[in-house]
């Protein structure tokens, strides 16, 4: 076999090797192709993402207006008159019939609503407290006094002697949408100047049994004991609510926080500045929700309503002619589907106003006008119960 003529098998193998090398080289030299960048159509909705920088800007703007609140109530001790009697001391010891003085402490949050030293918080933070102190963001601690409270909305207004304080800027809940970002400020577990973030989970939460007037914003921003009274703000740094309560099986945050909307807070604060309290309407009724068994027993075939189960004989509703086992269907033309709806309507009514009640009575529909009054008190000064 001569050398001047290559073997055909060898030639084929060389060609295959060269082809493979060429493919490999081509792969190495080929520039990666990036997928084309999608171009939004003119009708597409732009998506604006919140960034940590935006959160930090909001914190810088709002935090100087947030305060920590510490309140104290002293419960006097007592000593039984026979505590020092030898027989009692011998049989029961010296401390069985006595108790030392003790202090009850409350901690929460507030925020500055007036440069003249006015601060708003929740009523349950300061209710019944004798000494109230607020600690500002700059570290100063100032005594505060209670200007006014509204238990129906769980709001309270405090005053201090400070001036030139940085007040918050109010926002509106109207443009808020479920899913919008919000930040919650407060002092959870007495950790002052804390901030958490989340979204608006729902609007208009009612019927939770937390307050007489309920129209809460719901958020998953972390809210814990000590956050009560702190501001809930949007990404413009404007207050849209005041953190008030949580729904939790553990006592800590489980992602269901509730805030009183800013519109309600501002309306209540205006009244508290003028009068120190808010008088709300009262009819002197006791009602309960209907269930199928109750409806069947009284012959009511409707789907919704509240059953009158009692009332004060001298109360406005009794004087207007309401009777036991009437079914309340509506107030001022608005349907009453549960106790929460009725409580909200009553909270919006002032003494001296008249309410038109739509009723069902033994198969008949009728309307009754009831002039509401301020809630009376009993001989010991306690507010009467009922709606």
Candidates 192, 228, 253, 262; catalytic one: 228
124 noted as active-site residue: yes
| Residue 102 bridge partners (DSSP) | 75
180 noted as active-site residue: no
- Collapsed DSSP state (helix, strand, coil) of residue 45: coil
Residue 193: exposure state from Cβ atoms within 10 A (0-12, 13-18, ≥19): middle
Candidates 65, 68, 154, 358; catalytic one: 154
212 noted as active-site residue: no
The Cα–Cα gap between 198 and 75 comes to 40
The Cα–Cα gap between 139 and 313 comes to 56
Closest CA to 170 of 98, 65, 273: 65
Residue 222: exposure state from Cβ atoms within 10 A (0-12, 13-18, ≥19): buried
Spatial neighbors of 38 by CB under 8 A, at least 6 apart, are none
Contact yes or no for 183/58 (Cβ under 8 A): yes
Residue 372 phi/psi, 5-degree rounding, is -80, 155
Distances (CA, A) of 248 to 57, 159, 192, 328: 31, 32, 22, 33
Candidates 68, 124, 187, 194; catalytic one: 124
- Please list the active-site residues: 124, 154, 228
């Amino acid at each position: 076999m001569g050398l001047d003529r290559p073997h055909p098998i060898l030639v084929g193998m060389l060609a295959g090797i060269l082809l493979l090398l060429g493919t490999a080289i081509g792969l190495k030299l080929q520039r990666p192709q990036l997928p084309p960048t999608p171009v939004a159509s003119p009708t597409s909705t732009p998506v604006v993402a919140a960034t940590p920088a935006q959160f930090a800007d909001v914190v810088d703007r709002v935090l100087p207006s947030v305060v920590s609140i510490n309140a104290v109530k002293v419960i006097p001790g007592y000593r039984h008159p026979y505590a020092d009697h030898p027989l009692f001391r011998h049989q029961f010891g010296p401390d069985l019939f006595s108790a030392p003085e003790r202090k009850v402490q409350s901690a929460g949050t507030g925020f500055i609503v007036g440069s003249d030293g006015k601060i708003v918080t929740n009523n349950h933070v300061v209710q019944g407290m004798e000494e109230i102190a607020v600690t500002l963001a700059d570290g100063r601690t100032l005594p505060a006094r209670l200007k006014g409270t509204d238990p129906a909305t769980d709001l309270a207004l405090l005053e201090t002697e400070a001036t030139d304080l940085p007040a918050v800027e109010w926002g509106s809940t109207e443009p808020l949408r479920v899913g919008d970002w919000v930040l919650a400020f407060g002092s959870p577990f007495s950790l002052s100047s804390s901030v958490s973030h989340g979204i608006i989970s729902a609007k208009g939460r009612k019927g939770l049994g937390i307050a007489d007037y309920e129209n809460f914003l719901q958020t998953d921003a972390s809210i814990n004991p000590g956050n009560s009274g702190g501001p809930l703000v949007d990404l413009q740094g404007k207050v849209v609510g005041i953190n008030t309560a949580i729904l939790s099986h553990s006592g800590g945050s489980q992602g269901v926080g509730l805030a009183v909307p800013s519109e309600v807070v501002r309306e209540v604060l205006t009244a508290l500045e003028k009068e120190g309290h808010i008088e709300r309407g009262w009819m002197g009724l006791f009602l309960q929700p209907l269930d199928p068994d109750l409806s069947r027993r009284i012959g009511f075939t409707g789907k919704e309503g509240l059953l009158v189960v009692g009332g004060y004989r001298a109360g406005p509703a009794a004087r207007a002619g309401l009777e036991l086992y009437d079914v309340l269907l509506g107030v001022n033309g608005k349907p009453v589907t549960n106790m929460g709806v009725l409580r909200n309507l009553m909270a919006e009514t002032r003494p001296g106003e008249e309410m038109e009640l739509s009723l069902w009575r033994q198969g008949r529909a009728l309307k009754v006008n009831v002039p509401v009054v301020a809630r009376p008190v009993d001989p010991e000064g306690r507010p009467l119960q009922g709606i």
